[in-house]
């Protein structure tokens, strides 16, 4: 069984500063994928970034980067130059491949709330 | 632009009622999912489907059923709503393309209150 742990229930950061959101995972699979999603107060889940277990380089998408440390089983999200619009819930998730029809599902962490202060 | 829509943003139902939550995606995705989201618990998978008329139980299927008669539509059914099913319900879809990072696309959510 897979497990995603996000230990920080909430964080505060000043606008324009960088912030790291922690995520650790537990799996016995060799091939897996890790996702980060953002959920603003409006409720929609927004995909931010993806890291495959075999990817040698850390994933980056604009101001988002993923600090992937495979041996430590951590996949921390780094947001550079925080903006007020970054205030939201953030969820780490792991892709679990299923036997049925080659499908997959995501296992989510409990999420953490980021507040960016002006 | 990819889109997943859900029939209602807010819904209030009485205990014992049969409740239908509808989800439609326009991306021709094979996979569709229903999650519920509760504070401090994250998202938990209720049911998913990887093809028309196919369904699989997720982690918390009790009290729910689903229907997928068409590829684009995935319905969640609460046969007899109970107060402990008050929650935010999120629908998602994803592609089965091999070799592609197939993130899940989410709908806006339905906040269901059962009184």
Q: What does the pLDDT look like over A51-63, one tens digit per residue?
A: 998 888 999 999 9
* Dihedral Cα A16, A18, A23, A29, nearest 10 deg: 110
Contacts of B99 (CB under 8 A, 6+ apart): none
Spatial CA neighbour of B35 closest among A33, A43, A86 = A43
**pLDDT confidence of residue A46:** 93
**pLDDT confidence of residue A74:** 96
Q: Is residue A1 predicted with pLDDT exceeding 70?
A: no
- Pairing type for strands A88-97 and A104-108 reads antiparallel
Spatial CA neighbour of A91 closest among A50, A52, A38, A41 = A38
Residue indicated by tokens 């964080």:
A11
Q: What does the pLDDT look like over A5-48, one tens digit per residue?
A: 999 889 999 999 999 999 999 988 888 899 999 999 988 899 99
Q: Is residue B50 predicted with pLDDT exceeding 60?
A: yes
Which of B36, B39, B43, B97 has the highest number of chain A CBs within 10 A, making it the mutation to test binding with A?
B43
CA distance B48 to chain A (A): 8
Helices and strands, counts by H and E, chain A: 0, 12
What is the average pLDDT across B43-57?
Answer: 91
Q: What does the pLDDT look like over B66-114, one tens digit per residue?
A: 999 999 999 999 999 999 999 999 999 988 665 555 688 999 999 999 9
CA distance B19 to chain A (A): 21
Contact by Cβ (8 Å): B87, B101: no
Question: Which residues in chain B are contacts of A110 at CB distance < 8 A?
Answer: 40-42
Lowest mean pLDDT among A32-46, A85-99, B4-18: A85-99
Which of A23, A48, A101 has the highest number of chain B CBs within 10 A, making it the mutation to test binding with B?
A101
CA distance A18 to chain B (A): 24
Question: Which residues in chain A are contacts of B88 at CB distance < 8 A?
Answer: 43
Q: Is residue A99 predicted with pLDDT exceeding 90?
A: no
Q: Is residue A102 predicted with pLDDT exceeding 60?
A: no
CA distance B16 to B80: 4
């Amino acid at each position: 069984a897979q497990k995603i742990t996000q230990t920080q229930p909430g964080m505060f950061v000043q606008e324009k500063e960088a912030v790291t959101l922690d995520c650790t995972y537990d799996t016995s699979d060799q091939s897996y994928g890790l996702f980060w999603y953002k959920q603003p107060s409006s409720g929609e889940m927004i995909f931010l970034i993806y890291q495959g277990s075999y990817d040698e380089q850390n994933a980056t998408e604009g101001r988002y980067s993923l600090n992937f440390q495979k041996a430590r089983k951590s996949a921390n999200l780094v947001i550079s130059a925080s903006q007020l619009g970054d205030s939201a819930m953030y969820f780490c998730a792991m892709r679990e491949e299923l036997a049925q029809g080659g499908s997959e599902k995501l296992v989510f962490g409990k999420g953490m709330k980021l507040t960016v202060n002006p | 632009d990819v889109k997943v829509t859900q029939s209602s943003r807010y819904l209030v139902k009485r205990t014992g009622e049969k409740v239908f939550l509808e989800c439609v995606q326009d991306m021709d995705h094979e996979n569709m999912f229903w999650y519920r989201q509760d504070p401090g618990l994250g998202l938990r998978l209720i049911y998913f489907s990887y093809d028309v008329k196919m369904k699989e139980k997720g982690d918390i299927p009790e009290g729910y059923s689903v229907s997928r008669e068409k590829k684009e539509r995935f319905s969640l059914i609460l046969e007899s709503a109970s107060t402990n099913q008050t929650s935010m319900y999120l629908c998602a879809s994803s592609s089965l393309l091999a070799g592609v990072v197939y993130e899940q696309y989410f709908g806006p959510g339905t906040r269901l209150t059962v009184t």
